[in-house]
A and B are shown apart, each in its own frame.
Chain A
């Protein structure tokens, strides 16, 4: 598992809420003003910006945060449209590509949570690996890209995605 950058653990609502805020501000604002307006510590804000920019919903330019066209499309869409945009954006992230590759290489299309954590820990410190794992499951579930069974502690490929993913990988 190489070139997998750590992924901060942020919630979907934080990302979408930040995009909604940005839209209200006309699509562009100073980063320090967001922290000020929303009463957020910069340490809480940065992970949200990081994930949102990895997904292509915002970009940072000279200390300003800018809503991209994709970000705008996301907040203007209904719940299904949002999930679809998340799904397409997540598929491009190296961490998700790896996980999907692992799931496809396994005949059952599943992987134990603990196995995935161990793999992540080969790439990053434990704290970051735990955050990345949590974030992968949370974002993946929301986008209906992967599922997680808390009883068996197993991550699985969402049934609907199996055929299309296999096609794409080929």
Chain B
């Protein structure tokens, strides 16, 4: 079933003498159960597109259809994981995770019950009372992921979630995301991840959508049919990498 449909999305950025077209005629459909990666050179409007999907930015033209309905404000069934974690430094781990639930008017008891469930799922037990300044980048991003999941969204958006982390920590969190995604323990129906890392996109996603820059347009939509865990050294992986890499390079020229 179709979860999300982007129809003719266009985003203009007004300058003094003319408008710059950031995104042009974006048409993407995401099915339930799909993990989609959006890749493209910097400046292709990937992050803007995520914000449009979440309903945080209103597109200049086009429609976001979620479960068959047009989205006009913030989409409550969507959560975002940010590159720079976005934690509030004066709140501890549990408080950071439950903040959004509080805004939804949930009772303290219910908030804590939910928080502990997701703290457990993302491996943050033992850090419940820690403040962000005490945490390493990897642990901060675990809080970011728990905070997004605790809202029990149907669609999870991730904006370069691993690019602020060192190589091993990033690798570890990628595996965690796949483990959570495959566990069936989540409310999640689909994931859309923005990344500039092609290897990461092929390793994680079911589909890689390639965007061009100036303006951002869809120039490729590649299905990744490899079984998980995927072997990065395999011929199939390398072929896909070459194919997408050359698309991204061409998009930049």
Where the two chains meet, the residues of A that have a C-beta atom closer than 8 Å to any C-beta of B are 11-18, 20-21, 24, 38-40, 44, 48, 78-79, 82-83, 137-138, 140-144, 147-150, 158
B168 touches A13 (CB 8 A): yes
A123 to B137, CA, bound (A): 29
Q: Does B170 contact A (CB under 8 A)?
A: yes
A13 touches B173 (CB 8 A): yes
B232: chain A residues at CB < 8 Å are 24
B172: chain A residues at CB < 8 Å are 13-14, 16-17, 20
Contact of A83 among B125, B130, B166 (CB under 8 A): B125
Given A17-B171, A142-B123, output 14 extra A-B contacts at Cβ < 8 Å: A13-B136, A20-B172, A21-B171, A40-B166, A44-B166, A48-B168, A82-B123, A141-B126, A141-B130, A142-B127, A143-B126, A147-B126, A147-B129, A150-B129
Q: Which 7 A-B pairs have the closest CB atoms?
A: A17-B168, A13-B138, A17-B172, A13-B169, A11-B136, A141-B126, A38-B167
B165 touches A13 (CB 8 A): yes
Q: Does B2 contact A (CB under 8 A)?
A: no
For this complex, into which size category does the number of interface residues on chain B fall? 20 to 34
A17 touches B170 (CB 8 A): yes
User: Nearest residue in B to A40 (C-beta to C-beta)?
Assistant: B167
Given A11-B169, A13-B165, A13-B173, the answer on whether A83 and B134 have CB atoms closer than 8 Å is no
A24 to B166, CA, bound (A): 18
Within 8 A of A (CB), among B78-96: 92
Given A11-B138, A44-B166, the answer on whether A20 and B175 have CB atoms closer than 8 Å is yes
A79 touches B121 (CB 8 A): yes
A18: chain B residues at CB < 8 Å are 168
User: Nearest residue in A to B233 (C-beta to C-beta)?
Assistant: A24
Q: Does B120 contact A (CB under 8 A)?
A: yes
Where the two chains meet, the residues of B that have a C-beta atom closer than 8 Å to any C-beta of A are 92, 120-123, 125-127, 129-131, 134, 136-139, 165-173, 175, 179, 231-232
A17 touches B126 (CB 8 A): no
A144: chain B residues at CB < 8 Å are 125-126
- Minimum CB–CB distance from B131 to chain A (whole Å) comes to 5
- Minimum CB–CB distance from A127 to chain B (whole Å) comes to 18
User: Nearest residue in A to B183 (C-beta to C-beta)?
Assistant: A78
A144 to B123, CA, bound (A): 11
Given A14-B138, A24-B232, A79-B121, the answer on whether A149 and B129 have CB atoms closer than 8 Å is yes
A39: chain B residues at CB < 8 Å are 167
Q: Can you spell out 24 A-B residue pairs with CB atoms less than 8 angstroms apart?
A: A11-B136, A11-B137, A11-B169, A12-B139, A13-B139, A13-B173, A14-B169, A17-B170, A17-B171, A20-B171, A21-B171, A24-B232, A40-B168, A79-B122, A79-B123, A82-B123, A137-B134, A138-B136, A141-B127, A144-B125, A144-B126, A150-B130, A150-B131, A158-B126
B165: chain A residues at CB < 8 Å are 13
User: Nearest residue in B to A17 (C-beta to C-beta)?
Assistant: B168
- Minimum CB–CB distance from B253 to chain A (whole Å) comes to 26
A150 to B127, CA, bound (A): 11
A14 touches B123 (CB 8 A): no
User: Nearest residue in A to B168 (C-beta to C-beta)?
Assistant: A17
